[in-house]
A and B are shown apart, each in its own frame.
Chain A
Amino acid sequence: MSMTPEELFRLKKEIKKAKRRQDTEKEAKLGMTSLMDIVAIIVIYLLKSYASDPVLITPIAEQKIPMSRMDMPIKEGVALYVSSRELIFNEEQLATLTDGELDANIVQGHVIRPLFEKLEEETEKSKQVFEARGEEWVGHIILIGDQALKFSTIVDVMYTAGRLEYSEYSFCIIQKG
């Protein structure tokens, strides 16, 4: 008995279907090597750029760092964060500010008392480290200020650090352009 082409087509189709059903499911393998390479390169690049910064500066909340055309990199030093609301040293709030000015009670003859005390402790430790290394200690303050910070406050911070033999000062800025 001969089959019509249509019947032959259906039969072939059914045979194929039956074969497919019999086949065991193959596990798909995801090629992870190339992805691993890309991710590893990104991580190494990010780690490198992270490690190349001598000082890590993370502006505090509501702080607008002044803008400037200066292109000099930041040298290693003691970072002081002064926003228009607070003075932070070593992640500790030492004073509060009102409209960019320090509370008059904590400033005695241009010396910011809480800052002087904390900075004195750190300076002593730093000096001991340098002495143990046989190197000369040079105090360097990095002032990370706010655009609206008053000149009188800047002078007070510099004067307080100056009393502790800090001789180098830098104003942190965001590069324009």
Chain B
Amino acid sequence: MARVRKNEELEVEEANVLPVMNIMFLLIPALLLAMEVASLAAIAVSPPKFAAAPSDKKEEEKKEEKPLKFKVFILSDGFRVSTAAQQEGAEAGKEQDSSGPSIPLAKPGADATDYERYDYAALEAKAKELKDKAKHETVVTISAENDIPMQVLISTMDAVRGTDCKLVTLTDDDEIPEECLFFQPIVEAGAG
């Protein structure tokens, strides 16, 4: 058996880390490029026939109440809001009055590319008012004229959902927070 002398110094050669460093440095910009710069999220929408199925308990509670059938139609000159009862602003005796919007534009003279020309605050106030009447309703049907831009549709969904509504922490068993109004949008084509 070979003996190792006490005084003998073992020479350990250092690993050459430079190539690894080079790869690491290349990986950093590659990964930074792949990372999302803006925080992306998603709005779940349903087509009419796939409306969100409520739970049994909620269904029982709903049966006692008359369905609200909250509908928002986005027109080029404002929102037309209607419920099962009657369209907002419709003449007495008429269920609907399709001649005009119930919530006119906030900036009537603004260009069509100005997505903030709609009165989202008034729509949210209307949604709050309806939510007070029908606490368990969460569904809203949204439709629009063919040339309405996507940003207006999204902002409308935001308004009827409620400005302070946070859904990310909400689980199926949780009680719906008061600040969340109508957060289950159904996108319907050409519904007046």
Q: Which of A42, A70, A145 interacts with B150 by CB under 8 Å?
A: A145
Interface string of B136-165 (1 = CB under 8 A from A): 000000001111111101110110010101
- Name the distance in Å between B170's Cβ and chain A's nearest Cβ: 9
**Chain A binding site: helix, strand, loop or mixed by DSSP?**
mixed
Cα of A149 to Cα of B147 in the assembled complex, Å: 8
Cα of A74 to Cα of B168 in the assembled complex, Å: 11
- Across the interface, do B150 and A66 meet the contact criterion of CB distance under 8 Å? yes
- Name the distance in Å between A148's Cβ and chain B's nearest Cβ: 5
Query: Residue A49 at the B interface, CB < 8 A?
Result: yes
In the bound complex, residues from chain A placing their C-beta under 8 Å from that of B125 are none
Cα of A68 to Cα of B160 in the assembled complex, Å: 12
Knowing A43-B27, A68-B154, A152-B146 are in contact, say whether A73-B42 is a contact too (CB < 8 A).
yes
In the bound complex, residues from chain B placing their C-beta under 8 Å from that of A151 are 74, 144-150, 153
- Name the distance in Å between A171's Cβ and chain B's nearest Cβ: 5
16 A-B pairs whose Cβ atoms sit less than 8 Å apart in the complex:
A50-B31, A50-B34, A69-B161, A70-B158, A72-B42, A73-B168, A74-B41, A150-B149, A151-B74, A151-B145, A151-B150, A154-B150, A169-B45, A171-B43, A175-B39, A175-B40
Query: Which chain B residues have a beta carbon within 8 Å of chain A's beta carbons?
Result: 17-18, 20-21, 24-25, 27-28, 31-32, 34-36, 38-47, 50, 74, 113, 115, 144-151, 153-155, 157-158, 161, 163, 165-168, 187, 189-190
